[in-house]
Amino acid sequence: METLVVAVFIIGYLAITLEHTFKVDKLIPALAMMACLWSIIAVYHLPVFEVDANLKKLVPTHLEEILLHHLGKTAEIVVFLLGAMTIVEIIDYFNGFLTIKNFIKTKSKKKLLWIFAILAFILSAIIDNLTATIVLMTILQKVVPERDTRIWFAGLIIIAANAGGAWSPIGDVTTTMLWIGKKVTTIKLITYLLIPSIVCLLVPTTVATFLPAFKGNIIYNPNETKETMNKNGSIILYLGLASIIFVPVFKTITHLPPYVGMMFSLALVSTFAEILSSTKINITSFDDEGDEVSNYSPVHRSLSQIELPSILFFLGILLSVGALESIGVLFKFADTLNLVFPNTDIVVLLLGSASAIIDNVPLVAASMGMFSQEINNPLWHFIAFSAGTGGSMLIIGSAAGVVAMGMEKIDFFWYLKKISWLALIGFLSGAFTFIIIRDFLF
């Protein structure tokens, strides 16, 4: 029956990977796969296991217990993401990101490239790479009117956003998974990955400045209408970003799971948002007055804008990987990999390369079940870097790439021809830098 479980997972995985071909949202096969896997385990009474405290062996357990365990771990990530997404939507409600646009004054394409690359790198570490890409693509559309030029900027934004998300515990879903899963800590993650991530940003961006696409100046439309700045936009922007940055500090002080700190930050930002918008704080009311207020409430509006399909996808894929882990398949696969590739660096680099083709969320989820190294082992940091930046090599290899592809209708093969080689040299440069730091400085 283990063969059947693996077969269902592979079929579901292929359906997720080929979502653009089948024109079916990837959340559908992810949820169906999750339900089928656990149903097979339950119907055929397959033995299930959990990892003991020292992560050295598997211990038999009951189906209900292990399912609840994986649901709890998954819920921590889902609730965390819900809080972060809502805060970002509240900032957008007040048009707070326009503050960032107003800082951009130059017309030089090279200077604009560096501005957007650095902004993507910094913002992705604070509000995650997916959200940072959405924000910067929106600003880019207002700053660079010519689409043929804009898609070049979009390609470098993808690389920079993924590089920035790799070194922050809240910068990418995969690093968040490793952080919440107690594989890495904030300080060690930054210590190991900040410099490799900077290298991953600097190398392709520097090379890109010599390309013809980034020579000359941007020509603006003189008849372009300027957006009106919300008087509270800057306040909400700084408050929202500060509240998200506060989450790792909250975890360090209280030792509570990160989602608790994110919920506290959400409550704080929501309170100020309701006060500044002069609406009633009536978030949970279902009467007629409450429904009318919800049309103007920034919190209600922001909650309605959250990308729920992504949340459900994470739920499905993480519980699916949990099913494989529970029956011991991932540990057997890890043993096979270790026999074929005794050097774990090669395994991790292959995982990073695979993340360009396959979604990096299930890859990292699988690696968490495959390896048993202790917290803050360099392996976990290398996995975080490889999975986070390797996806830049194809436009469908990361959430940032997929959203940019959708917003600008970027062709898959155009990206493969024009941008992929830049992402590759950035990935390899950063990986080589990480190995040097790991082997000679620590």
Residue 283 scores a pLDDT above 60: no
pLDDT in tens, 3-21: 899 899 889 878 877 776 7
How many CA atoms does the CB half-sphere of 429 hold within 13 Å?
A: 20
> Is the entire prediction scored with pTM above 0.75?
no
Residue 50: beta bridge partners?
Answer: 59
Segment 211-217 long-range contacts (CB within 8 Å, at least 24 positions apart): 211/152, 213/109, 213/149, 213/152, 214/109, 214/110, 214/113, 214/152, 215/109, 215/110, 216/109, 217/107, 217/108, 217/109
Of the ranges 222-236, 342-356, 418-432, the best mean pLDDT one = 418-432
pLDDT at 225 (0 to 100): 56
Residue 313's pLDDT is what?
Answer: 81
| Per-residue pLDDT at 162 | 93
Average pLDDT score over the chain: 83
Question: 381-428 pLDDT, tens per residue?
Answer: 999 999 889 989 988 777 788 778 777 878 878 898 999 999 999 999
Selection from 97-106, 169-178, 285-294 with the highest mean pLDDT: 169-178
* Residue 239, pLDDT score: 92
Q: Tokens at residue 16, please? A: 């997720």
Inter-helix orientation angle 2-17/27-43, to 10°: 170
Q: What is the pLDDT of residue 394?
A: 85
Q: What are phi and psi of 208, to 5 degrees?
A: -65, -30
Q: What is the distance in angstroms between the CA of the first residue and the CA of the last residue of the chain?
A: 45
* DSSP one-letter code for 108: B
Using one digit for the tens of pLDDT, what is the confidence trace for 62-105?
898 889 988 988 888 788 878 888 888 898 888 887 887 777 77
Mean pLDDT, residues 218-235: 71
Whether residue 345 contacts residue 382, with contact meaning beta carbons closer than 8 Å, is answered with yes
The C-alpha atoms of residue 418 and residue 124 are separated, in whole angstroms, by 23
Report yes or no: 113 and 230 within 8 Å, Cβ to Cβ: no
Residue 210: CB atoms within 10 A of its CB come to: 9
- Model pLDDT, residue 293: 47
Q: How confident is the model at residue 362 (pLDDT cuts 50, 70, 90)?
A: low
Share of the chain above pLDDT 90, in %: 29
**Cβ within 8 Å of residue 413, ≥6 positions away:** none
- pLDDT on residue 286: 46
Say how many C-beta atoms besides its own lie within 10 A of residue 111's C-beta: 16
- Calculate Rg over the CA atoms of the chain: 22
